[in-house]
Structure 1
Amino acid sequence: MAKKAVKDMSFMDHLEDLRRVLVRSTAAVIVMGTITYFFADYIFDQLIFGPTNPSFITYRFFCEASHYIGFADSICITELNFKIINTEMEGQVNIFVWICITGGFILAFPYILWQLWGFVSPALYEKEKKNAKLFISISSILFFLGVLFGYYVIVPMSINFLATFSISKIVENTFTIESYVSMVKTAVIASGLFFELPIIIYFLTKLGIVTPLFLRTYRKYAIVIVLIIAAIVTPPDVVSQITVAIPMLLIYEASIFISASVVRNKLKNEKSS
């Protein structure tokens, strides 16, 4: 029934459905972004600028870990010698608005997923439609885990590396608020979306675009890319690089497992029919 209904829809009908999804998703982001407005002081002082403090939880964790494994204070962070300045008249206003929008997007993400599921569900079978709650729950959890990973791992490691890197003692690190907040936003959102890789692979495999063989064949390239990313965003020590690389590699391996499961189920259904 669902398949036939989709076939009966015109291209304009699909566009109208997509428009409704985009409008509702945008409205949800605006509503949740408005809510973040009332917590602006906490968001900026404790969250956005939290990783600029040497007592940030991530720095303390790595310091304690270095003592535990016998590295003494080799990866302890005692100071982050840099300043954040505003150089544009409307700079802080723009940053305030974009942080509210970013916060709204993060908080509204489960609703956005629900809207997207409603858009693609008519093309799915009844059995697949029943998995809506499972899909939204797993996707949301993965996204929020990615956001936390980006905030507590990628952001502080990037700040530590960029704040301590210097080509000469003559140069003083003074970052604009735009570049700092942009780095934080990019790391958090990109990490959250990267953790959605298993879900993306699930649908790409169902569409026949990606196969487990393809993912396994290019695994070695994925490992190299992940290690390069880990080396870029972390200080030059093995512990930090492993901390960043392992979760990303696990996500890739989980994607291979999911892709293989989809192919097995597809073959099983073809045999039974």
Structure 2
Amino acid sequence: MNKLLKKILKPLKSAFECESEAAYSEDITPHIEELIIRIRRSIFAFLISVLIVVFFPINWISCPLFGVYCSPNDVGNIVGAEYLKELLRWLGYIPAMVALLRVVTVAIDRMGITPIICNAEGLMNAYVVIIIWGALILSLPYIVYQMLCYIWPALEKHERRMIRNGILSTVGLFLLGEVFAITIVVPFGLQLVVIFGQVAGAEVRWCLSDVINFVIFTSLVTGLSFLLPIVVYYLVLLGILRPEQLKGRNLRIAFLVIMFIAAVITPGGTGVSMLAIGIPMFVLYYLAIIMAEKAMRERESQANA
């Protein structure tokens, strides 16, 4: 029994191994081979995540823990749900992708939007988007882990500390951007489209796949835009930029650039929506300059001590 268990766990153990003999080789060939192995592991992790999102019976967890998605009737009013319920009854369980789509449609419905299927492949496109993003989110920690394992032996102690802090702050700011997008930017953008449609005397109808793409794209871009302070902070910390270069007249230029970026990525493109995302970005940008300046002073004082 123990031998069988070891055989089963051996591939899993090797998949999480971080140390490698190639890391200490002076020849470039072992490094390339190790990189290929880690990329292959990352792709494999993504494919496994796709299978989990598509086939994992989410009701095994959600029903006993939260009392939701216990039966096919819980998928709610997704367009085409009657056919979907029959399929789920035949399967005998609720796949994770169905629950994820239901979560998205409930969130959209709370914004006052009722999506419809505009064409034959509309529902399929919505599921494909849900599957890809669900699998990417599920596999991303492992992919980042593999990339860190590849570069970790080449880093100095202070560089490792910098990366640890950078990962934590990057995740925190990205999640802050996601929350900001879902609670403010996306609802505001959708309502703007409705208002413009009413002014034009047109009825606004939302395709399910289009709404999902809009929500995902807007939240992703907003989350990435909130990472601007991280970029600025490390550019200053690495000595590529100086805090003095980012202040004064250049600060005003940075404000205009940030507002331009906000105008490009903000749905609706109006002045109000631009300010709604541009001002928080500029505040974070300025805080990054202050924090980087403080870190530079501490480093210089330690060097002079």
Give me the TM-score of the superposition, normalised by structure 2: 0.62
In structure 2, what is the Cα distance between the partners aligned to 1:248 and 1:132? 22
Give how far 1:268 is off. 4.1
Give how far 1:186 is off. 1.1
Counterpart position of 2:89: none
Counterpart position of 1:154: 185
**Contact 1:86–1:176, Cα closer than 8 Å, also in 2:** yes
Higher gyration radius (CA): 2
Partner-residue secondary structure (3-state), 2:123 = helix
Counterpart position of 1:140: 171
**Contact 2:117–2:208, Cα closer than 8 Å, also in 1:** yes
In structure 2, what is the Cα distance between the partners aligned to 1:7 and 1:255? 38
Whether 1:25 aligns to 2:25 is no
Whether 1:260 aligns to 2:293 is yes
Please list, as runs of the form range in 1=range in 2, the aligned pairs for 1:66-81 lying within 5 A after superposition: none
Counterpart position of 1:199: 230
CA distance 1:137–1:178, shift in 2 (3 Å):
same
Give how far 1:33 is off. 4.1
RMSD of aligned residue pairs (Cα, Å): 3.7
Whether 1:112 aligns to 2:135 is no
Give how far 1:7 is off. 9.6
Give how far 1:241 is off. 6.2
CA distance 1:52–1:244, shift in 2 (3 Å):
farther
- Provide, for residues 125-182 of structure 1, a one-character-per-residue CA deviation record: whole Å limited to 9, x for no partner: 1243256654433332332222222222221111111222138635432344443222
Give how far 1:262 is off. 4.7
In structure 2, what is the Cα distance between the partners aligned to 1:166 and 1:270? 62
Whether 1:212 aligns to 2:243 is yes
In structure 1, what is the Cα distance between the partners aligned to 2:300 and 2:126? 51
Give aligned-pair identity as a percent.
25
Q: Which moved more, 1:138-147 or 1:106-115?
A: 106-115
- Provide, for residues 221-262 of structure 1, a one-character-per-residue CA deviation record: whole Å limited to 9, x for no partner: 343344452695369696x76653443223212332343245
User: Which of these residues, 215, 224, 233, is aligned with residue 267 of structure 2?
Assistant: 233
Counterpart position of 1:41: 98
- Provide, for residues 67-106 of structure 1, a one-character-per-residue CA deviation record: whole Å limited to 9, x for no partner: xxxxxxxxxxxx55x754332x434323312222212223
In structure 2, what is the Cα distance between the partners aligned to 1:21 and 1:222? 38
In structure 2, what is the Cα distance between the partners aligned to 1:91 and 1:246? 36
Higher RCO, 1 vs 2 (CA within 8 Å, ≥6 residues apart): 1
Counterpart position of 1:223: 255
**Contact 2:193–2:268, Cα closer than 8 Å, also in 1:** no
In structure 1, what is the Cα distance between the partners aligned to 2:226 and 2:41? 24
**Contact 1:150–1:187, Cα closer than 8 Å, also in 2:** yes
In structure 2, what is the Cα distance between the partners aligned to 1:205 and 1:9? 33
Please list, as runs of the form range in 1=range in 2, the aligned pairs for 1:46-57 lying within 5 A after superposition: 46-48=103-105, 50-54=107-111
Letter in 2 for 1:193: L
In structure 1, what is the Cα distance between the partners aligned to 2:244 and 2:140? 31
CA distance 1:170–1:139, shift in 2 (3 Å):
closer
In structure 2, what is the Cα distance between the partners aligned to 1:205 and 1:7? 32
**Contact 1:198–1:258, Cα closer than 8 Å, also in 2:** no
Letter in 2 for 1:85: I
In structure 2, what is the Cα distance between the partners aligned to 1:271 and 1:6? 33
Unpaired runs of 5+ residues, structure 2, are: 1-22, 55-94
Task: Give every structure 1 segment of 4 or more consecutive aligned residues whose post-TM-superposition deviation is greater than 6 Å.
Answer: 234-237
CA distance 1:267–1:117, shift in 2 (3 Å):
farther
- Provide, for residues 176-200 of structure 1, a one-character-per-residue CA deviation record: whole Å limited to 9, x for no partner: 4443222111112222223333333
